[in-house]
Structure 1
């Protein structure tokens, strides 16, 4: 039997979009052995010289001019990418997209970033007859995600669904599935084995993450956490930010048996499993992974736009707390050291109430699209 093909397209503007694509790829293959998947960061694949330069410029802008980024996000909040923009993107970076699609011959195309979604939408307007599924990877719905050529939207919450409905998207096109995270995050691992693997102690543990780009440069927060190194265990994950990791390795304050420094790792699920508190940037993927593990979260300086919306949503649900002052850190450390059993109990309560975020929900919707495509071909 010929396998059905799913092409998953993302972009490298933050690690979460591509992580969502790979998470969906894994879930699809687990759900059906008859599905073949291919994940691509479209710009980097088609234009490997120009794309990294654009992404680097974006990173610098986000970190150095957050007010400008916030203004741009808000001013275009309800606007889709216009036809001129999608045409320019297509001509500048994705001139071979149609050829790529013809070569791979996908039965369904899934986009986890608004730019490839806009590009595929334009190609569909020009005659491409392949279902397009767009996965919104945040707890908000910016206008750039929206295009009438999208056949199906997978969204995180009913609130995001309502925002799409308000902008004229037909209800039949929207499925509330939660943001897809890798199936590993829904598994419960042996904490003892994980501690042995990473040389960790059985003691209250704080995991500090800065996202895939390692945006965790708050000297005050890091210094305060380090001051409690005799009472708690601290794990710093730097992602791809090797310079920040090197600086911390050379800092005497962080040279302690209870402080552990990690670069990029594919085993964040295990580190979350053995940690009791997550200090993080509130990216949509990281928040969703933390939710799957039931770990309480403290949100460090959200990036303008979608991270701010993610932070507000998780705070409203009682799953996370913005770090509005250093007292937030201090209070949580005291909870870990003085009231640890209560922290563990509340975490279990979260785990007991997140069943509605089914780990395979997104994959099942895409399987449905594949089945509909197959029926249409043979009808």
Structure 2
């Protein structure tokens, strides 16, 4: 019996967030209904060489030329129709080929560029395949997400929903669903009891994440903490081998007990769980993983554009601390541990209230329901068209 096909349109080279969201949702859908056929395509792979090359420029520009990326991001908010038209022309041939090969019942877009461009192609070709988009950002959401042709726009936060409403998307098309994270971060509420530690005796374990997105700042902060003897430091450098070697060289004077440099790892949760404090960039996926684990976080900055308001978001809900000046990192940690760690307890309790470990599960349930509904509607339409009597009655 046919049970349905779901196509995810994601992106492989514009950060890891889109892939992480797609992975979380696919996993839950497969657990709920293993018979569903799931396909994932990198939206940029449907374009020409130049289009694919552009996607690979995202990280270098966003990290090394943040002002340029911020300007491009703001400009895109005023060129939504132009971008959708251009992208639809670029991806049209391969998208239609995919539609013919896969024959999806529903399309899930987790990248802003592939919402309006995809719905435009489907509309022009009179292909009634519903598109549901998931906004992959907490706040400062791109206008590209606001496409009235999408059947639903799933919003991770109230801030994202408010932005969509301000751009004319009706409330009935919007659903606030929380931010989906991988299942390993979705266990029952973590124990928020505090082990008493002294910020002056070197017993505090600090984990730096996303080092490749700001190596200079990470290195300065790590040296500051190690020099003062406040903490033991672990830095995850990811796939950036050059960064890993640079950090190992710069921090060679410290013992293995004091500092550990990790390359690419699939055991990110293990390191996050072991750490007392997480120091990271305001990437929404890592932020929400930390929140689900109820781990105290210190934000050192954010990429321009889609991440720009994330530090403000964290402060608004009192989920962490902000420290953009490496010289102040020691005092920020001391403040966390002052008064018998009162602030840490406060932050962890806020995280416990804010976290939504069932977000991926609930979104998966909704997607499956929409897919099944589409199949049912298609079958009913097929039966009506094949029965002249019923078709004539409905036509009247």
Q: Secondary structure at the match of 1:306?
A: coil
**Aligned-residue offset at 1:25:** 0.8
Q: Secondary structure at the match of 2:137?
A: coil
In the alignment, which of 98, 110, 113 is matched to residue 112 of structure 1? 110
**Structure 2 Cα separation of the partners of residues 226 and 282 of structure 1:** 23
- Per-residue CA deviation, residues 229-251 of structure 1 (Å, 9 max, x unaligned), is x5423221122222111111222
- Per-residue CA deviation, residues 273-311 of structure 1 (Å, 9 max, x unaligned), is 222221111112121211111112222221112211112
User: Could you list the runs of 5+ residues in structure 2 that have no partner in the other structure?
Assistant: 192-201, 381-396
**Aligned-residue offset at 1:272:** 1.7
- Per-residue CA deviation, residues 17-68 of structure 1 (Å, 9 max, x unaligned), is 1211111111211233332322221223x45854553234333322333223
1:131 is aligned to 2:130: yes
Alpha-carbon contact 1:16-1:285 (below 8 Å) kept = yes
**Pair 1:354–1:168, CA change in 2 (3 A):** same
What pairs with 1:38-187 in structure 2 (closer than 5 Å)?
A: 38-44=39-45, 46=46, 50=50, 53-77=53-77, 79=78, 81-82=80-81, 84-93=82-91, 95-126=93-124, 127-140=126-139, 141-187=141-187
1:34 is aligned to 2:32: no
**Structure 1 Cα separation of the partners of residues 373 and 41 of structure 2:** 24
**Structure 1 Cα separation of the partners of residues 364 and 31 of structure 2:** 9
**Structure 1 Cα separation of the partners of residues 176 and 378 of structure 2:** 27
**Structure 1 Cα separation of the partners of residues 33 and 355 of structure 2:** 21
Q: Secondary structure at the match of 1:302?
A: coil
Between stretches 52-61 and 286-295, larger displacement belongs to: 52-61
Q: Secondary structure at the match of 2:256?
A: coil
Alpha-carbon contact 2:226-2:258 (below 8 Å) kept = no
1:13 is aligned to 2:14: yes
For 1:222, the equivalent position in structure 2 comes to 222
1:291 is aligned to 2:291: yes
- Per-residue CA deviation, residues 101-137 of structure 1 (Å, 9 max, x unaligned), is 2211212111111112233112222122111111111
Q: Secondary structure at the match of 1:373?
A: helix
| RMSD of aligned residue pairs (Cα, Å) | 2.8
**Structure 2 Cα separation of the partners of residues 280 and 265 of structure 1:** 16
Q: TM-score, normalised by structure 1?
A: 0.86
- Per-residue CA deviation, residues 148-179 of structure 1 (Å, 9 max, x unaligned), is 21111111111221111111101111111112
Alpha-carbon contact 2:9-2:114 (below 8 Å) kept = yes
For 2:372, the equivalent position in structure 1 comes to 371
Which structure: larger Rg? 2
**Structure 1 Cα separation of the partners of residues 92 and 322 of structure 2:** 39
Q: Secondary structure at the match of 1:8?
A: strand
1:2 is aligned to 2:25: no
For 1:196, the equivalent position in structure 2 comes to none
Alpha-carbon contact 2:299-2:320 (below 8 Å) kept = yes
**Aligned-residue offset at 1:358:** 2.6
Between stretches 168-177 and 91-100, larger displacement belongs to: 91-100
Alpha-carbon contact 1:209-1:216 (below 8 Å) kept = no
**Pair 1:339–1:6, CA change in 2 (3 A):** farther
Between stretches 119-128 and 321-330, larger displacement belongs to: 321-330
Tell me the number of residue pairs that the alignment of Structure 1 and Structure 2 aligns: 364
Between stretches 171-180 and 329-338, larger displacement belongs to: 329-338
- Per-residue CA deviation, residues 188-210 of structure 1 (Å, 9 max, x unaligned), is 6999xxxxxxxxxx953211111
**Pair 1:160–1:369, CA change in 2 (3 A):** same
For 1:24, the equivalent position in structure 2 comes to 25
Alpha-carbon contact 2:301-2:311 (below 8 Å) kept = no
For 2:353, the equivalent position in structure 1 comes to 353
Q: Secondary structure at the match of 1:138?
A: coil
What pairs with 1:130-279 in structure 2 (closer than 5 Å)?
A: 130-140=129-139, 141-187=141-187, 203-210=203-210, 214-218=213-217, 219-228=219-228, 230-251=229-250, 252-253=252-253, 256-279=256-279
Between stretches 336-345 and 177-186, larger displacement belongs to: 336-345
Alpha-carbon contact 1:235-1:260 (below 8 Å) kept = yes
**Pair 1:355–1:64, CA change in 2 (3 A):** closer
